[in-house]
Amino acid sequence: MEIKYAGHASFQIKTKDAKIVMDPFNPTIGLKYPKTEASIVTISHHHPDHDFVSVVGGNPLIIDWPGEFEKDKVRIFGHKSFHDKVKGAERGENILYKLEIEGISLLHCGDLGVIPDDSFIDDIGEVDVLFVPTGGVYTIDSVEAVKLIKKIEPVLVIPMHYNNPKLNQEQFGKLEPVESFIQKLGATPSEPVQKLVLRKEDLSEEMKVQVMEIGV
């Protein structure tokens, strides 16, 4: 499969049978989302920086609620969580999506606002690739992201939802940069890439961190 980063919390995943778009964003965040087509779109929650589905063509299956789904040889499991630390009272609910594709399990945390308990983690099961927010303010911060990683123990970590100079700084200027997360994790990330090609046999047992460049 191929993974590309559109920016913020949005990724595009292409397989032999499917094209998936996760959390497409409105251009008000400071980045323009390129018009694209997909067969599946996942929405972690309905805020403008995560649910700009009108930019995606191709009559996709739009998933914005918890449950189990399957299309184009992709299995998807939505797990309800919260966008804050007060059970949604401040920012509402959030959905984590676990995707099973070509023998690889991927977990997109959306705007996760609180570290789930152990029973929640057990329910999700094994995760190879973790897309984790690290910027804080609206989500877990870099310290909490490290704690979550230690709970899940993924093979590959891809940080997201952190401050980037291209983002609207009035809205996202208080987010931590990705460097803060890297420092707290104590890991050496792989060289940033615009496209990541993954195969099950290429995943090693040692955890790796991959920072991705914006470019789809």
Mind spelling out the 3-state secondary structure of the chain?
CEEEEEECCEEEEECCCCEEEECCCCHHHCCCCCCEECCEEECCCCCCCCCCHHHEECCCEEECCCEEEEECCEEEEEEEEECCCCCCCCCCEEEEEEEEECCEEEEECCCCCCCCCHHHHHHHCCCCEEEEECCCCCCCCHHHHHHHHHHHCCCEEEEECCECCCCCHHHHCCCCEHHHHHHHHCCCCEEEECEEECCHHHCCCCCEEEEECECC
Residue 1 is which amino acid?
M
Phi, psi of 12 (to 5 degrees): -120, 125
Distance CA 197, CA 3 (A): 6
Side chain identity, residue 74: V
Burial tier of 160 (Cβ tally within 10 Å: 0-12, 13-18, 19+)? buried
List, for residues 56-106, the tens digit of each pLDDT value. Answer: 999 999 999 999 999 999 999 999 999 999 999 999 999 999 999 999 999
Helix axes 178-185, 142-152, angle to 10 degrees: 50
Note the pLDDT of residue 35.
85
pLDDT at res. 216: 63
Phi, psi of 208 (to 5 degrees): -125, 155
Q: Which of 142, 216, 208, 145 is nearest to 180 (CA)?
A: 142
For residue range 178-187, list pLDDT tens digits in order.
999 999 999 8
Spell out, as residue ranges, where the chain has pLDDT lower than 70. 216
Whether this model's pTM surpasses 0.95: yes
Q: Give the span between the Cα atoms of 205 and 203, in whole angstroms.
A: 7
Edge to edge, what strands does the sheet with 61-63 contain? 61-63, 40-42, 19-22, 10-14, 2-7, 195-197
Q: What is the pLDDT of residue 17?
A: 96
